[in-house]
Structure 1
Amino acid sequence: MTISRRTLKICCAVTTILLIIIIVTAVTLYYTLFKPKQPIITTQEVTLNSFTINVFDVTDTNITLGVKVTVKNPNYGGFQYEKSTTYMSYRGDVMAEAPILEDSIPARGQRNISTTVLVVGKKLITNSNFFKDMESKVLNLTSSTTLKGKAIVLKVFKKKATSYSTCDISINFVDNNATSICKSKVKF
């Protein structure tokens, strides 16, 4: 059985057209639907669990904060991140650390991450601005977290990603509460 040249040309043309359609569709989907987007990190609440101060020994001051953060993944691919640490700092000095266990956030899903942070007073007292801030009844802290992991699209395509989050936390001792504002970004 011989195939005529005309049939062969038609077959090649149809294959080329189908291949072009598939490539254009794939590129369009990648740049619209599957393009990686920033996660939305929202601090649901920062609670002042306890604030203890020893009047006779000011270095025996401890602050316990409860932090609940929601991370929304707006992407059509999941995000698996490794074990990490959140650092709490006061005017540039690291005051406390809190572990974050490895986990994954499903595609277009969200995950609540809760942790407790103990800020030890000995580290706070050594900062020259501490007593000035105590007089104003507000203590400003900054938390920073880096989550390294990989974004997975359609269980086939895997891309390394790192999510950076920074939160500015204000603790008001008079009202016994805390508020925060968070910013995040992702590098692929």
Structure 2
Amino acid sequence: MAERHQQLPPYLPASQLQRDQESAMMIRDLRRKNNIRIASYILTFLVLVVAIILIIVFVILPITTPKFRVHSMTFDTLEVGTTSNASFNMRFDVQFRIKNKNFGKFEYDYSSVDYYYRGTRLTSVFIARGDVRARSTEKIDVSFVNMDSSTLGTAANSSLSTDIGNGILPLTALSKLDGEVEVMNIKKHKSPVMNCTMEVVISTKSLQNLNCL
């Protein structure tokens, strides 16, 4: 009966085994480092996404009402009567400003600014349709605005005599702009309201104490 010889696996020297073990450890270490690197990239990406979302939600998307104000007035003519025959007539240039702090433009329709003396409307200034770019201020200059006291009633005329004697004419400018702010294709109706009080100094033909709410 023929003898069967069992083939034994070849014997590996200790140095070869050590090298194989070191190679396996290096591979595992590289894989671990790669996994850590990938995880850090994913975490960084998620943090950036969350930060962008927070900026959009809390900074960009909140839409505020633009500000509509009288910025300045200069007088071409200013004539007043005596305290016994109180009256005034003036012509002035005015600059209005619309300040839009939103991250989208503000479009507004036609409007007007009404000027009052102690509750009586004296004149209106026309405001054309327009728009204000994002994060900017629009200047609206209007020249040669005429205003006089011919429409004042008895009570206002009584106050006018005192105001002329004091050298001060108190005025109020009121207006409202109807428009829309558009941010990231989201439109929201906004209506800035102007309520500005001021004093005209008769002697210097200048404006003082201009305050807008």
- TM bin, normalised by shorter chain, reads 0.7 to 0.9
The corresponding residue for 2:175 is 145
Indicate the SS of the match to 1:77: coil
In 2: Cα distance, 1:46 partner to 1:171 partner: 9
1:130 aligns with 2:160: yes
CA distance 1:182–1:151, change in 2 (3 Å): same
The corresponding residue for 2:78 is 51
The corresponding residue for 2:196 is 167
**CA deviation vs aligned residue, 1:35-64 (integer Å, no higher than 9, x gap):** 123434454321122113467xx5874212
Q: Which has the larger helix fraction?
A: 2
TM-score w.r.t. length of structure 2:
0.66
Indicate the SS of the match to 2:105: strand
Q: Unaligned regions of 5+ residues in structure 1, if any? A: 1-21, 184-188
RMSD: 2.7
Task: Say if 2:87 and 2:160, in contact at 8 Å, map to a contact too.
Answer: no
Indicate the SS of the match to 1:35: coil
- Match of residue 121, structure 1, among 139, 144, 149: 149
* Pairing 1:26-175 to 2, within 5 Å after superposition: 26=53, 29-41=56-68, 43-53=70-80, 61-116=88-143, 117-124=145-152, 126=154, 127=156, 128-154=158-184, 156-175=185-204
**CA deviation vs aligned residue, 1:48-84 (integer Å, no higher than 9, x gap):** 22113467xx587421222112222111011000000
**CA deviation vs aligned residue, 1:112-149 (integer Å, no higher than 9, x gap):** 01224321221247412111101000000000110001
In 1: Cα distance, 2:50 partner to 2:66 partner: 28
Q: Which has the larger strand fraction?
A: 1
User: How many positions carry a matched residue from both structures?
Assistant: 161
Indicate the SS of the match to 1:129: helix
Q: Unaligned regions of 5+ residues in structure 2, if any? A: 1-48
In 2: Cα distance, 1:111 partner to 1:24 partner: 32
Task: Say if 1:47 and 1:65, in contact at 8 Å, map to a contact too.
Answer: yes
Answer with 117-126 or 166-175: which moved more.
Answer: 117-126
Q: Which amino acid aligns with 2:199?
A: S
The corresponding residue for 1:17 is none
The corresponding residue for 2:30 is none
Q: Which amino acid aligns with 1:89?
A: Y
In 2: Cα distance, 1:122 partner to 1:59 partner: 10
Task: Say if 1:140 and 1:168, in contact at 8 Å, map to a contact too.
Answer: yes
Q: Which amino acid aligns with 1:123?
A: T
The structure with the larger Rg is: 2
